[in-house]
Amino acid sequence: MSRPFAPKVLTANDLLDGNAVWLTADDAWSRNMADAELLEDEAVAQDRLLFAIAQSDVVVGAYLVDAEASEKGPVPVHFREAFRTRGPSNYPHGKQVEV
Amino acid sequence: MYTYTDFDEKFVRERVAQFRTQVERRIDGALTEDEFKPLRLMNGLYLQLHAYMLRVAIPYGTLNSRQMRQLAYLAERFDKGYGHFTTRQNIQYNWPKLKDVPDMLEALADVGMHAIQTSGNTIRNVTADHFAGAAADEIEDPRPVAELLRQWSTDHPEFQFLPRKFKIAVTGSSTDRAVTKAHDIGLRMVRNTAGEPGFEVIVGGGLGRTPMIGKVIRDFLPKADLLPYCEAIVGVYNLLGRRDNKYKARIKITVSENGLEKIRDLVETRFADLRREFNGFDQELLKTIETQFSPPVFFEASVDGYEAYRAANPAFRSWTDTNLNAHRAADYAIVSVSTKKHGATPGDASAEQMRVLADLAERYGHDELRISHEQNVILPHVHKSDLPAVYEGLRNADLGTANIGLVSDIIACPGMDYCALATARSIPIAQEIAERFDTLKLEHEIGALKIKISGCINACGHHHVGHIGILGLDRAGVENYQITLGGDGAETATVGERAGPGFSAEDIVPAIERLIATYLNIRTDADEAFLQTYRRVGLAPFKAALYPEKEAQNAA
């Protein structure tokens, strides 16, 4: 039996500045992961991935990645994705200081 | 120093102009990412975790003050006010915007610099001994041949689609400060029995997922045969190297799968043909390059002031003990400037620090700077009478740390703080180790020790050749750090031995502390460096210190 589908979000990097972005339910790309659409159905997730890949003039390198629901919206499961929501740990640069 | 010819200038400007239109077409949607990616990589532009990253070549690690000031300008104008010096003597900018990159490349071209072949499956920036032209133990300055190799390899039509990237390092000294044995081709200048300078040619070294120490393919190659011989090696590799598996595509695998003898035979056969084609024009070119690397006019002055300052100022004395090396000219010193103040990011320099370095080089250093593969900055030619002024200038810019070659002089790759390939962070581990040993005030007592940290198996942080190597991995969704011991990147190059299971981010610094405490306990005396002790006693006592629970179980 195949494993149950783990919820996912769609993420990518912005074409112009490379910043991490997440796909929202209304087809926009947000710099805040909490705005992302949490994809709990595998078929829907694959469909959204095709949509994201087609957005090559806006974002680069779209991929599906595990996420969890929280009161504030989707949150990362893996530490790599958590870093992408914050920025580097050696300077106050990136999202952790961006409004 | 080499200055661009009209040909170089035109070539670099044309590439900038081409890339400018490529970026425009990417932004307006005419090019897809699949089409654009190889074009941006050809120009050193990567996409990392949080932003784009531009890798700028610093050929053989040599810069003048004007170039350093331009790097500062780029950091300030297009980045967040700093740059990161890498283990391949390059500089990386971590935050450029795509639309700005052509302007950055244009600004680099203004000072004779570029980002060409800092990525992709081509011959990368040729690295060299960072003490080149200054070291007391040198046969010849290796930079003219490094420049010759740069010109030969740039846009070389046969070598733009190699099976994988290809790295060349060159040293003119018997002391290997360029890690030549961990390169695809390593060139060590030696003399033959007639006393003529030539090269010992080493092939198939490399770190990464399959670390290998390079093998000597030619004991002595006359200097004049360098280009045809290198072309023969890369040509043989280009045809024989595997393209079916990225992880088996480097020349180290080609050499180990085919055997050195077969590779040597193929290279010698190709070389015999190529040698006839190189009918002397390369040697003419080398001669003109050599004139541009003629040594500065060293001046004479009293060093009494230096000695007096040294006697009166313990901090200065400590710095001169650790950060200076012997220079070929009497009363001169080679100054290594540490970018690794305790707690700082290894290899990072702010725009302000870059300007201070440029000013000091211009005023006291015959206008020369070097970037070392150990991510420090070198002022290769400083008269001892100027050392107090240089030191004070550096200290005021947070660049006066006296820790070259010590426990806090750590190589660390950008790791998962920036790099899209990383499996764990490197920088915070380097920062914590440096701060811990600074607190303990043990650094100088520990003495010579090279810690090198990589945030993934690709080993940009050279962990395999660290006396203590640390490799950051992802173990079931948690950062985990594996230790290797006894690695060495010098002429006695050795790949370190894995000590055992890895440690969590919380446990890695205490583990390093236990290793070093063990070393201090078992060394014969303060003159026996960590690596020597390791070679004398082997892994066992260090393993016992790293894994005390296991030791207790064995004893029970």
Q: For the domain that residue B202 is a member of, what is the CATH number? A: 3.30.413.10
The per-residue pLDDT for B549 is 84
The string of pLDDT tens digits covering residues B82-131 is 999 999 999 999 999 999 999 999 999 999 999 999 999 999 999 999 99
d(CA B110, CA B103) in angstroms, rounded, equals 11
**Chain B residues lying within 8 Å of A83, measured CB to CB:** 49, 416-417, 425
Domain contains B130: no
The per-residue pLDDT for B440 is 97
pTM, to two decimals: 0.96
Task: Check pLDDT > 60 for residue A1.
Answer: no
Q: What token pair was written down for B457?
A: 């198996």
Q: Which residues of B touch A (CB under 8 A)?
A: 26-27, 29, 32-33, 47-52, 80, 94-95, 97-99, 345, 348, 416-418, 425, 427-428, 431, 474, 477-479
Domain contains B129: no
Provide the number of structural domains found in chain B. 4
Q: What token pair was written down for B303?
A: 């060093």
Task: Check pLDDT > 60 for residue B472.
Answer: yes
As a whole number of Å, the CA-based R_g of chain A is 13
CB-CB contact of B484 with B465 (8 Å): no
Mean pLDDT within B324-348:
97
**DSSP letters for B374-402:** TS-EEEEEEEGGGHHHHHHHHHHTT----
Domain contains B1: no
The per-residue pLDDT for B1 is 86
Q: Which of B27, B51, B477 sits opposite A18 (nearest CB)?
A: B51
Q: Answer whether A84 sits within 8 Å of B478, measured CB to CB.
A: no
Q: Give the strand pairing for B185-191 and B168-171.
A: parallel
Domain contains B253: yes
CB-CB contact of B370 with B63 (8 Å): yes
Domain contains B14: yes
What residues have CB less than 8 Å from B14, skipping those under 6 apart?
Answer: none
- The pLDDT confidence band at residue B269, using thresholds 50, 70 and 90, is very high
CB-CB contact of B144 with B293 (8 Å): yes
B378 and B447 co-located in one domain: no
**Chain B residues lying within 8 Å of A19, measured CB to CB:** 50-51
Domain contains B439: yes
B460 and B532 co-located in one domain: yes
The string of pLDDT tens digits covering residues B423-471 is 999 999 999 999 999 999 999 999 999 999 999 999 999 999 999 999 9
CATH classification at residue B79? 3.90.480.20
Question: Of B370, B396, B422, which residue constitutes the final position of a domain?
Answer: B396
CA–CA min distance B337, chain A (Å): 21
Question: Of B109, B129, B154, which residue constitutes the final position of a domain?
Answer: B109
- The pLDDT confidence band at residue B48, using thresholds 50, 70 and 90, is very high
d(CA B284, CA B288) in angstroms, rounded, equals 7
CA–CA min distance B257, chain A (Å): 35
Task: Check pLDDT > 70 for residue B301.
Answer: yes
Task: Check pLDDT > 70 for residue B350.
Answer: yes
d(CA A67, CA A40) in angstroms, rounded, equals 10
Chain B residue closest in CA terms to A78: B477
B483 and B428 co-located in one domain: yes
The per-residue pLDDT for A99 is 61
Q: Provide the CA B315 distance to its chain's centre, in angstroms.
A: 28
Q: Which of A57, A61, A87 sits opposite B29 (nearest CB)?
A: A57
B150 and B279 co-located in one domain: yes
Task: Check pLDDT > 90 for residue B552.
Answer: no
Question: Of B235, B269, B292, which residue constitutes the final position of a domain?
Answer: B292
Q: Give the strand pairing for B127-128 and B168-171.
A: parallel
Q: Which of B29, B52, B477 sits opposite A18 (nearest CB)?
A: B52
B390 and B525 co-located in one domain: no
CA–CA min distance A43, chain B (Å): 25
The string of pLDDT tens digits covering residues B209-258 is 999 999 999 999 999 999 999 999 999 999 999 999 999 999 999 999 99
Domain contains B515: yes
The per-residue pLDDT for B174 is 87
Burial class (CB in 10 A: 0-12, 13-18, 19+), B195: exposed
What percent of chain B lies above the pLDDT cut of 70? 99
β-bridge partners, B85: B91
B486 and B543 co-located in one domain: yes
Helix (H) or strand (E) holding B498: strand B497-498
Q: Which domain holds residue B531?
A: 411-555
- The pLDDT confidence band at residue A98, using thresholds 50, 70 and 90, is confident
Q: What is the DSSP secondary structure assignment for residue B494, as one 8-state letter? A: B
Domain contains B131: no
- The pLDDT confidence band at residue B553, using thresholds 50, 70 and 90, is confident
B165 and B261 co-located in one domain: yes
CA–CA min distance A91, chain B (Å): 9
CA–CA min distance A94, chain B (Å): 7
Task: Check pLDDT > 60 for residue B62.
Answer: yes
Chain B residue closest in CA terms to A20: B50
- The pLDDT confidence band at residue B503, using thresholds 50, 70 and 90, is very high
Question: What angle do helix axes B251-258 and B260-277 make, rounded to 10 degrees?
Answer: 120
Residue type, A4: P
CB-CB contact of B496 with B463 (8 Å): yes
- The pLDDT confidence band at residue A13, using thresholds 50, 70 and 90, is very high
The per-residue pLDDT for B402 is 98
d(CA B417, CA B94) in angstroms, rounded, equals 10
d(CA B227, CA B164) in angstroms, rounded, equals 20
Q: Answer whether A80 sits within 8 Å of B33, measured CB to CB.
A: no
Q: Which of A16, A17, A90 sits opposite B345 (nearest CB)?
A: A90
Across chain B, mean pLDDT equals 97
Mean pLDDT within B140-150:
97
What percent of chain B lies above the pLDDT cut of 90? 97
